[in-house]
Structure 1
Amino acid sequence: MLLWGYKELQTQLIQPQAILVLGGSTERLEREKFTATFAKQHPNIPIWISGGSPAVPTKKVFAKKGVDLKRLHLDYDAQDTVTNFTTIVDELEARKIKKVYLITSDFHMRRATVIGEIVLGSRGIDFKPVPVPSAEKSPEPIGKSFRDGVRSILWLTTGYTGAKGEQPKE
């Protein structure tokens, strides 16, 4: 019990060292616009965007807000929410990042949290959820969170995510 309390306290005291954005709608750039504003309040940490809008419009959003583009790390390897995490977690770990701000739409946060707890947690990376307000009135169906939680555990145990078209690892 004492160790659990220590871990909780330590997690609360560690400030996020990066921003991780799960890319969203490619037409409206809502998550990217929100993140550009958020990044101005956290000027000294790098920003990873997994999936989402193409590089040129994304960079324009950040440049317009005055965010140094050297902070941006754009990753387009992900096919879905599970692979948003699995394609980037090794790089975060290699950079010794222990805590991130996790940015995604409010309706998507429950599923992202389930996956993040499993995938990021497997590398000792904690996160602080930062939901982007949306017009959606309710979260995604809980079945999606369950399904992607199972896929995340599959990735932990086998290295596969079950993503469409995924190739065997050599």
Structure 2
Amino acid sequence: MKIQFGFNGGRKYKLIWRSLIILMVFCLALLGLHLAFNLVIKLPRNAKSPVDGVLVLGGSISREIYAAKLAQQNPKIPILITRGSPDPCIVWVFQRAKSPMNNVWLEICSRSTFTNFMFGVPILENWQVQKVKLITSGTHIARAKWLAKILLGSHGIWVDLIVAPEKGVPGNHESWAKTGVDLTRSVIWAFLSQIIKPHCSEVYRLSGVDLEAWEDRNFACERQGGLKQNSRGASHRYSALKATRPRVGHGVQAFEVTSKDSHFVRP
């Protein structure tokens, strides 16, 4: 009786494991098909579409200066700045350029280039972006390019890369080890992100930044931005402060876009 119970129990567990393996293979096959559709069908199709989104990787105020020029030329395009300079610095950059801010969004959940994309891709997908301008710096271009091709391309979003002009010595140091780690986890995330969509609760319009709330906070804008923090927050007086994150690269080009409405509101 005990032997028979053990035998039946063994068959039962084998059946459960076999079912789980079959289910896992089936799910992986579905993910693979979805990924293949994005890469083979959507990506080439979206390459022919007009640019309808801008993604700014945080790390240098020069990228936000460039984004302000694009916003001035193309006010209907949605711009997402991922973990950029302190909010007032970005506001002052756009004010100085007389660029509209209502279609510019800040995302402050990310902590690295990889998480810039991890949190940024779901937002771009929600905006139904098909082709995005990616703004980065010269020394950052290799890693940003590969991560963008993997993480945006796996969702069918075509990428046009822009190198923002920058002054000074870059503060970030790229390495093959860092690039290798990011590429490895990007390939894995390209599969997982087909079903996992990280949500950032800290996404809000640039036009909604409360400058008065920043008056007593300790922050500084990069020297190359030519901006100055003062007690009144929204002042238009600009002068250099000691750089906090000097970074590094070029060119501005105009492009046509179709605007996408966003459901994000300031938390």
Query: Which TM-score tier does this pair reach, normalised by the shorter chain?
Result: 0.7 to 0.9
- Out of 141, 144, 147, the residue aligned to residue 178 of structure 2 is 144
> How many residues are matched?
152
Q: Distance in 2 between matches of 1:156 and 1:74?
A: 24
Match of 1:52, SS state, is: coil
Residue 85, structure 1, aligned to residue 117, structure 2: yes
- Structure 2 letter corresponding to 1:131: V
How far the C-alpha of 1:11 sits from its partner, in A, is 4.5
How far the C-alpha of 1:131 sits from its partner, in A, is 0.6
How far the C-alpha of 1:158 sits from its partner, in A, is 4.7
Q: Which residue of 2 aligns with 1:122?
A: 154
- CA RMSD across the alignment: 2.6
What do residues 37-93 of structure 1 show as CA deviations (whole Å, max 9, x unaligned)?
Answer: 233222320110001111121111112212111111100010100000001111111
How far the C-alpha of 1:20 sits from its partner, in A, is 0.4
Q: Which residue of 2 aligns with 1:132?
A: 164
Larger radius of gyration: 2
How far the C-alpha of 1:35 sits from its partner, in A, is 1.6
Name the % identity: 34
Q: Which residue of 1 aligns with 2:51?
A: 16
- The change in CA–CA distance for 1:111 and 1:136 in structure 2 (over 3 A counts) is farther
What do residues 97-128 of structure 1 show as CA deviations (whole Å, max 9, x unaligned)?
Answer: 11110001011011011111111112111110
How does 1:98-117 map onto structure 2 within 5 Å? 98-117=130-149
Checking the alignment, whether the CA contact within 8 Å between 1:101 and 1:127 is kept in structure 2 is yes
**Structure 1 unaligned spans of 5+:** 161-170
Q: Give TM-score, length-normalised by structure 2.
A: 0.51
> Which of the pair has the greater relative contact order for Cα pairs under 8 Å at 6+ separation?
2
Checking the alignment, whether the CA contact within 8 Å between 2:79 and 2:103 is kept in structure 1 is yes
Q: Which residue of 2 aligns with 1:164?
A: none
How far the C-alpha of 1:136 sits from its partner, in A, is 5.4
**Structure 2 unaligned spans of 5+:** 1-39, 197-267
Match of 1:70, SS state, is: coil
Q: Which residue of 1 aligns with 2:187?
A: 153
Q: Which residue of 1 aligns with 2:92?
A: 60
Q: Give TM-score, length-normalised by structure 1.
A: 0.78
- Structure 2 letter corresponding to 1:21: V
- Out of 38, 41, 66, the residue aligned to residue 73 of structure 2 is 41
Q: Distance in 1 between matches of 2:74 and 2:180?
A: 33
- Structure 2 letter corresponding to 1:38: L
